[in-house]
Structure 1
Amino acid sequence: MDQGMELRGCVCRIKSSALELLSMEEDLMADLDDGLWDLVRRDLQLKATFLYIDLSRVVARSEKHREEIILLANNFFYYMDELGDAVASRSASVVKVCYGDVARVLREVVAAVSPPAAA
């Protein structure tokens, strides 16, 4: 497989996973019952796993902005861990703060891995 195509595929999946995570805001801010907290936690873990795999591939193949992507990815996974802990504790107020951090850094990650638009 062409490495450029694989990289584009990873970036596309990162963007798709980011959109899915960013669309979870309403679910995370809702008053969840006991069963839904566990489902949301597992969904977050699954999305983080896919993002980890694709971000690892992007970092391995990146020549430009590699250190920036690594730093942003590390921050993103730190905040995802914090969000996972908040969901596990079932604290809606802490989830809201942690989700805000995740969303902010995730947008930065997507911007860093996205190729610049053609002029």
Structure 2
Amino acid sequence: MRGTAETVLQSASRIIPNKLVSTGRRRCPRFLAQSQLQKPDTDDGAPHTTRRAAALSLATVTLSGQLSTAKSLAEEGRRFWLDGLLDTLPPVSNKINNEETGTRSFLKQGIYMAKVGPKGSAYRLKKTAFDLLGMGDIIDQDAWGYIRKYLRLKSTFMYYDFDKVITAAPADEREGLTNLANRLFDNVEKLEVAIKSRSVPQTKSCYEETSRILEEVMAQMA
């Protein structure tokens, strides 16, 4: 019996599982004897290390090509962005500034804005308004610094996008768009003051009014 068991164990050690064969609901492994496993023949008898080196060389060449392509695309993509940071805020062509200050308190410097044209600006206005409509959920979560930065960033985009949309709009639509932009930006400045005060009731009150105007923007840019 001992000899028979050793024979079975030796036979089992010379076989390895190859893949699973479906047998109805259960699966059982198919075994393949090691003697049936053969190394693939090579045409020239070159060692495996040579093939590995060749594969690595090919991978290196491919990666280098991909990096060069990515760099070229990045260089080309720069044409779609304003040259440099907004260290000095560009002037606008329409009357959407605060009449008392001649600017807007929320304008944020040091950002890039993509040149997307009037239609792209209208789309971005709608998307940015949608983003700001979700800000109300974090007003009472002690995230004042983040809220103010987020509001300034999004409002800066809307400020310049509104200017592009108004300029490209038909003459009979410009006044309505200008009034909408001024109502929005007047409320954003009030909201910014409320956020600085860290008063939850005042901030929520200003935000509710701003939200109604944001919904108007989304409807107008649809």
Report the TM range for the smaller structure's normalisation: 0.7 to 0.9
User: In structure 2, which of residues 123, 129, 132 is the aligned counterpart of residue 21 of structure 1?
Assistant: 132
> What are the ranges of 5 or more consecutive residues in structure 1 without an aligned counterpart?
115-119
Which amino acid is 2:218 matched to? Answer: V
User: In structure 2, which of residues 125, 138, 141 is the aligned counterpart of residue 31 of structure 1?
Assistant: 141
1:117 is aligned to none
User: In structure 2, which of residues 155, 172, 189 is the aligned counterpart of residue 81 of structure 1?
Assistant: 189
CA distance in structure 1 between the partners assigned to 2:167 and 2:186 by the alignment: 20
Contact 2:166 2:178 in 1 (8 A): yes
Residues 1-119 of structure 1: pairs in structure 2 closer than 5 A: 6-28=117-139, 30-32=140-142, 36-63=143-170, 64-114=172-222
Instruction: Report SS of the residue matched to 2:141.
Output: coil
Greater strand share, 1 or 2? 2
Which amino acid is 1:10 matched to? Answer: S
Ranked by relative contact order (alpha carbons within 8 Å, sequence separation 6 or more), the top structure is 1
Greater helix share, 1 or 2? 1
Contact 2:144 2:196 in 1 (8 A): yes
> What are the ranges of 5 or more consecutive residues in structure 2 without an aligned counterpart?
1-115
CA distance in structure 2 between the partners assigned to 1:84 and 1:18 by the alignment: 16
CA distance in structure 1 between the partners assigned to 2:180 and 2:134 by the alignment: 20
CA distance in structure 2 between the partners assigned to 1:31 and 1:49 by the alignment: 24
CA RMSD, Structure 1 to Structure 2 (Å): 1.6
CA distance in structure 2 between the partners assigned to 1:42 and 1:31 by the alignment: 15
Q: How many residues align?
A: 107
Question: Please, which moves more after superposition, 79-88 or 101-110?
Answer: 101-110
- The alignment's TM-score, normalised by the length of structure 2, stands at 0.46
Report which of the two structures shows the higher radius of gyration computed on alpha carbons: 2
CA distance in structure 2 between the partners assigned to 1:61 and 1:18 by the alignment: 20
